[in-house]
């Protein structure tokens, strides 16, 4: 689902399986799937690793959604796995936990995941996406940018040329990351933040909403403000 990618594209004609159950993420994924196939929306199976307790809706018009627990999915022969499953959660730590759960309990490998790009997303032909990425409406990925596995790029976010975004990172809506940046694994970039050219951000760092990052950020740090300053330092 999408351009230049190292990950498997899910079948446009078969049922689609999503592992993990975050209503916000599911709503975004289903809308992307609906827009990709407006005349024949896919059937979607959501497999929960824990008993869901969130009442929020996540359905999309025309898409048939069924839910099951992970044990029932395994008993049924893990349907959908051969076509490439999608990751249905959002925050970096939760993505890591869900991917580890289905790997350890059900043998789902990283390469079994597909990526999902909204039709209005604009990835350059030379950009590279790892397995399990999610790219939302009007997001832009510049030439020679690379996204590690399970990266989420929310709506209207942009990633500059020759920038690398590490595995499991999440870029919230309206984020702008300039060129030649290097974001470590599990980084969270808050809504509307701006990261200038050539910045390195350590693994697990959190960039507060609206921040302007003009200097490197240590691993595990929380930075906020304009310009951004370290508010908490990771251990």
- 217: which strand partners? 201
Residue 65 is given by DSSP the state E
- Is the backbone peptide bond immediately before 227 cis, with ω within 30 degrees of 0? yes
Which residue in the list 106, 161, 162, 180 is annotated as catalytic? Answer: 161
Active site (annotated) includes residue 144: no
Partners of 229 in the β-ladder: 224
Give the separation between CA 38 and CA 49, rounded to whole angstroms: 29
Q: What's the pLDDT score for residue 68? A: 93
pTM equals 0.92
Average pLDDT for runs of 10 along the chain of length 235: 46 74 93 87 90 78 91 94 92 97 97 95 96 97 98 98 98 98 98 98 98 97 96 71
CB-based contacts of 226: which residues, under 8 Å, 6+ apart? 210, 211, 212
Give me the pLDDT at residue 18, please: 96
pLDDT of residue 10: 46
What pLDDT does residue 62 have? 86
Sheet holding 122-123, edge to edge: 122-123, 140-141, 158-159, 176-177, 194-195, 212-213
* CA angle (169, 173, 174) in 5-degree steps: 110
Helices (H), 76-115: 92-106
């Amino acid at each position: 689902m999408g351009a230049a990618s190292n990950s498997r594209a899910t079948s446009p004609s078969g049922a689609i399986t999503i592992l993990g159950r975050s209503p916000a993420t599911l709503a975004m994924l289903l809308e992307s799937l609906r827009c990709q196939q407006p005349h024949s929306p896919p059937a979607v199976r959501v497999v929960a690793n824990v008993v869901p307790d969130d009442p929020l809706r996540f359905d999309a018009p025309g898409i048939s959604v069924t839910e099951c627990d992970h044990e029932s999915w395994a008993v049924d022969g893990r349907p959908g796995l051969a076509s490439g499953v999608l990751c249905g959660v959002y925050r970096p730590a939760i993505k890591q936990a869900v991917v580890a759960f289905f790997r350890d309990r059900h043998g789902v490998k990283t390469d079994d995941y597909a990526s999902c790009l909204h039709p209005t997303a604009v990835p350059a032909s030379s950009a590279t996406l790892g397995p399990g990425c999610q790219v939302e409406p009007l997001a832009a990925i510049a030439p020679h940018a690379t996204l590690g596995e399970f990266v989420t790029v929310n709506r209207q976010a942009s990633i500059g040329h020759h920038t690398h975004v590490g595995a499991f990172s999440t870029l919230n809506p309206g984020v702008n990351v300039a060129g030649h940046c290097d974001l470590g694994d599990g980084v969270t970039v808050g809504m509307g933040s701006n990261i200038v050219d050539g910045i390195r951000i350590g693994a697990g760092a959190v960039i507060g909403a609206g921040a302007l990052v003009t200097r490197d950020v240590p691993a595990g740090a929380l930075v906020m403000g304009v310009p951004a300053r370290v508010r908490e330092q990771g251990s």
